[in-house]
Amino acid sequence: MPLPEPPWRKPVRQQLSRELIVDTALEILDREGMAALSMRRIATELGTGAASLYAHVSNKEELQELLLERVLSQVPHPVPDPGRWAAQLRELCSQTVRALTAHNGIAMVALATIIPTGEASFDQAEAFLGLLKASGLSDAHVAVAFDVLSLYCTAYAVETDAIRSGAFSEAQILERTRQLGEYMAALPADRFPALLALGPLLGSGTPEARFGAAIDLVLAGIETLAARSGE
């Protein structure tokens, strides 16, 4: 039976690494949110000085990019199947949103990252582009469709994250919707006929239903354009 450690012996610290820093940052992010995340906060959590972190991560901006890379690396990527590309693309969009909303604030990091250059980001782009090419779209349309789907999934994730974090409560959203409905009802019908006719449908249904409908709309457009390309 091994002897117990002497009470004066300090516990052995984990060896500092980029991986450990990202792991710790994600834990802080989940507990306290993006506002609490800083190099100093991570250093305190690891029982070291902030200066020691900079040997592995240059600044908070790089840390956020590493966090996004970690999250995107967890998105499963299917092998494109020309017979199932639409279902695969729909699932990839859903999986992307799930990943971006799994940790507080990551969706906003993704939205603010204009040109991601990490390996996981490239794998994500390859997955989307491969499925879009399997649809039969022209290369020019594939590029546009990738841009549209990426932006929509990220923007939807930002909205979902904001609601979940309490930035906008369900009660606030319902009250704002009610106020907007009353205001729109008082608008002149001759000037805003379409807005008055369709106003009740704007924002109606659950967020998940709206997300599914939006993806279906894009997929229908892709199928139409692909058919034209085939002709």
Q: What three-state secondary structure class fits 122?
A: helix
Quote the DSSP letter at residue 9. Answer: S
Is the pLDDT at 11 greater than 70, yes or no? no
* pLDDT band of 173, cuts 50, 70, 90: confident
Average of pLDDT values for 132-161?
95
Angle, alpha carbons 165-171-175 (nearest 5°): 130
Give this prediction's pTM: 0.85
pLDDT of residue 216: 97
Domains and CATH numbers, the chain: 18-58 (1.10.10.60), 76-230 (1.10.357.10)
pLDDT of residue 95: 97
pLDDT of residue 163: 80
- pLDDT per position as a tens digit, 17-49: 999 999 999 999 999 888 899 999 999 999 999
Alpha carbon separation from 227 to 87, 105, 128, 222, 224 (Å, rounded): 17, 39, 19, 8, 5
- Asked if residues 117 and 205 have their Cβ atoms less than 8 Å apart, the reply is no
- pLDDT per position as a tens digit, 74-123: 999 999 999 999 999 999 999 999 999 999 899 999 999 878 889 999 99
Tokens 């782009």, located at residue = 125
Amino acid in position 76: P
Angle, alpha carbons 134-153-164 (nearest 5°): 150
Is the pLDDT at 9 greater than 50, yes or no? no
pLDDT of residue 23: 95
Is the pLDDT at 58 greater than 70, yes or no? yes
Angle, alpha carbons 157-43-111 (nearest 5°): 20
**What CA–CA distance (Å, rounded) separates 115 from 111?**
10
Is the pLDDT at 12 greater than 50, yes or no? no
- pLDDT per position as a tens digit, 187-227: 999 999 998 898 888 877 888 999 999 999 999 999 999 99
- Asked if residues 131 and 76 have their Cβ atoms less than 8 Å apart, the reply is no
Q: Which of 152, 167, 145, 148 is nearest to 100 (CA)?
A: 152
Backbone Cα Rg of the chain:
23
More confident residue, 186 or 166: 186
